[in-house]
Structure 1
Amino acid sequence: MDWDKLRIFHAVADAGSLTHAGDVLHLSQSAVSRQVRGLEESLGTTLFHRHARGLILTEQGEMLFEATKAMARKLDTTAARIKDSEEHVFGELKVTTTTGFGTLWLVPRLAKLYARYPDLKIDLLLEERVLDLPMREADIAIRMKEPSQADLIRRRLLNIRIRLFASKEYLDRVGTPRTMADLSPHRLICQNPATPQVSAGAVLAQTLLAQNMASTLLINSYFGVLQGVLNHVGIGILPDYLVTDFPHLVRVLPDIESAEVPVFLAFPEELRSSRRVAAFRDFVLEEIQSLRRNLGE
């Protein structure tokens, strides 16, 4: 089978248009069309339904597109391994983690990683959705639960808990609660329990919201909750890994906290020898060791 024709077919299937594929490949629309027709003739089948709005893959076209996607992923992985030098870490690394951990803990530390590897290019995907690492939606993930996908190398980094924090200024103004009953005159700042988040955090928020506090502020990210606490708006529900960067926060009701939340780092088995993955993994492990000392683990 002609590899060049397969490459052009893949670009057309991905773009859904001869014109857009031609732009990507720097070929004319007619040249792209001829190559696709030639592939269809060699296979003895139709790969696309053609209509005014673009191209739609036939059943046979879908089968071939799945094969070319797998080939493209394998080629990307191979190219990454080839580019990884024994002495120099460079190139692109796609990292995924939760919005809270990414914005509040990881991003503030990346300057140290870039100082060590200035040619590294990180594409950071912050979302609660678990991306498919074997399908190369990301190269490496930090998640708040053990990954269930097969063919992954995984390592537990630490356990965290969600707790109550406030600023000293807020507590001086409103008072420090000593029991759950003392929370009623306070304002609670937390993620809405319906917001995608670790279940332990949602359970704690639901428990505290049931206390009929005088006022609440619901925000769909821990970053927003933290800003509310730092600006003396109320008592916030926040992950304990913040104590390293915000040591002046005051913990409220020390007996009230979520269940343990495990934090895992994972990446595909096929990237075991990647220098970029190893560099990022080792950097995170170093920073986690410092965090664990601060948390008293």
Structure 2
Amino acid sequence: MFDWNDIRVFLTVARAGSTLGAARALDMNQTTVSRRIQALERCLDLTLFSRDTRGFHLTEEGEMLLGASEGMENAAADLGAEADRLRRALGGKIRITAAEDILNYSISEIVAEYRAKAPATTFEYVAQDRFLDIEKGEADVAFRAADHLDDATLLCRRVADISWAVYCSRDYAQKHSAPSQADELLNHPVAAYEGKFAMSRASLWFMSQIAGRQVVMTSNTVVNMRAIVLSGVGLGLLPCFSSEPVPELVRCVVVPSENSPHIWMLTTSKAQRSRHLRSFTDFAAERFKTLRCRFELQE
């Protein structure tokens, strides 16, 4: 029977195109990589690679086994993630993922309050804008800012709406006079979003109010956009909950509420079997009923 580690080496050589490249990727001796490929070929009684001075190239048989090998790789990753999730569940640990702003302005407070009543439960934060795959166990619960969610396999609760607005720095406002209406946005340089934020309803509304020639800078994260706006380069779109407390920022024009995204609390039916996670998500949903006013601009 072949060894899974040999399949892993096979996939790495196929992707790198050489045993040297695979050895570097695997942090393994090149001779060991070659020996493992030879052992796999003997075990399968197939030639998986042709060799020449340019490197290793999959044979027809190697190409035919590539898909099945990648399936094994995915299954091994899923098994490892599920084992990790089970260890967290058994140990009373909950892994939360969310954008850094959302973690800082609400989740950390909710977790502190929850731990006061359930001190045996521990938490791990993964703060990033990229969405982790909670179905694969990369996190137990996610708090995501999104216009809508399409994944019907997840357990979703809409816990808040997020007001957004166009901001500038106080220094910029003093030098150039901050706009106060949407039709005044055309008179200023702006920083725009790229990546997933560019496709949000709030960003699409903002871009519909300006001309392309006004864009002097782009960013793919909210944290960086805030830094750009604070630098005085021009106008930028930011969530109100994390921008209103910053005295150096001046709110110019509020995005219409129908273009505002929502905060969703997501988990899976499998993760919800953990009494620790079930208790926490119920607690968080209840606390958001009070905290949601932080995310929605109060005039």
> TM over 0.5: same fold?
yes
Match for residue 36 of structure 1 among 35, 40, 44: 40
Q: Is the 8 A contact 1:176 1:252 kept in 2?
A: yes
CA contact 1:188–1:236 (8 Å) conserved in 2: no
In the alignment, which residue of structure 1 is the partner of 2:129?
126
Change in CA separation of 1:288 and 1:246 when aligned onto 2, cut-off 3 Å: farther
SS of equivalent to 2:262? strand
The letter of the residue matching 1:71 is A
Q: Which has the higher helix share?
A: 2
Aligned to 2:203: 202
Q: From the superposition, tell whether residues 87 and 94 of structure 1 become closer, same or farther in structure 2 (CA, over 3 Å).
A: closer
Asked if the contact 2:11/2:66 (under 8 Å) is kept, the reply is: no
Alignment-derived partner of residue 15 in structure 1: 12
Within 5 Å, which residues of 2 pair with 1:24-103? Answer: 28-29=32-33, 32-33=36-37, 35-41=39-45, 46=46, 48-52=48-52, 53-54=55-56, 56=58, 58-84=62-88, 86-89=90-93, 95=97, 102-103=99-100
> Secondary structure in 2 aligned to 1:126?
coil
- Between 1:219-228 and 1:116-125, the stretch displaced more is 116-125
Whether 1:191 and 2:192 are equivalent positions in the alignment is yes
Deviation at 1:259, TM superposition (A): 0.9
Closer, same or farther in 2 for the Cα pair 1:235/1:280, shift >3 Å?
A: farther
Cα-to-partner distance string for 1:178-198 (whole Å, 9 max, x where unaligned): 44454565x343315788523
1:151-230 to structure 2, matched below 5 A, reads 151-183=153-185, 185=187, 187-191=188-192, 197-210=198-211, 217-221=216-220, 222-230=222-230
CA distance in 1 between counterparts of 2:262 and 2:254 reads: 20
CA distance in 2, matches of 1:110, 1:239: 16
Q: Deviation per CA, 1:228-261: give whole Å up to 9, x if none.
A: 4334444332223324643664322447566122
- Judged with a 3 Å threshold, the aligned counterparts in structure 2 of structure 1 residues 134 and 247 are, in CA distance, closer, same or farther, namely same
Q: Do the aligned partners of residues 54 and 108 (structure 1) sit closer, same or farther apart at CA in structure 2, a change above 3 Å counting?
A: farther
Q: Distance in 2 between matches of 1:126 and 1:108?
A: 15
Partners of 1:22 and 1:248 in 2: CA distance? 48
Counterparts of 1:272 and 1:250, CA distance in 2: 42
Q: Map Cα deviations across residues 184-215 of structure 1 (whole Å, 9 max, x no partner).
A: 65x34331578852331332232331498xx6
1:248–1:288: structure 2 CA closer, same or farther, 3 Å change rule? farther
Q: Aligned with 2:149: secondary structure?
A: coil
- Structure 2 length normalisation: TM-score? 0.65
Structure 1 residue 217: deviation in Å? 3.6
Distance 1:280 1:28 in 2: 48
User: How many Å apart are 1:72 and its aligned residue?
Assistant: 0.8
Aligned to 1:240: 240
Separation in 1, partners of 2:289, 2:247: 17
CA shift, 1:163, in A, is: 1.4
Structure 2 gaps of 5+ residues are none
TM-score for both structures, normalised by structure 1: 0.66
2:148 maps to 1:149: no
Residue identity matched to 1:9 = D
Measured in 2, the distance between the counterparts of 1:223 and 1:161 equals 16
Deviation of 1:36 (Å): 1.3
Aligned residues: 278
In structure 2, the partner of 1:295 is 295
Q: 1:192 to 1:63 in 2, by over 3 A?
A: closer
Using the aligned pairs only, state the percent identity.
Answer: 18
State how far apart, in whole Å, the 2-side matches of 1:136 and 1:47 are. Answer: 36
Corresponding residue SS for 1:205: helix
- CA 110–9 in structure 1, closer or farther in 2 if over 3 Å, else same: farther
- Distance in 2, Cα, partners of 1:68 & 1:247: 53
2:204 is paired with a residue of what secondary structure? Answer: helix
CA contact 2:121–2:276 (8 Å) conserved in 1: no
Whether 1:250 and 2:220 are equivalent positions in the alignment is no
The code of the aligned residue for 1:106 comes to L
Q: 1:106 — aligned with what? A: 103
SS of residue paired to 1:238: strand
SS of structure 1 residue aligned to 2:229: helix
Cα distance, 1:12 vs. partner? 1.6
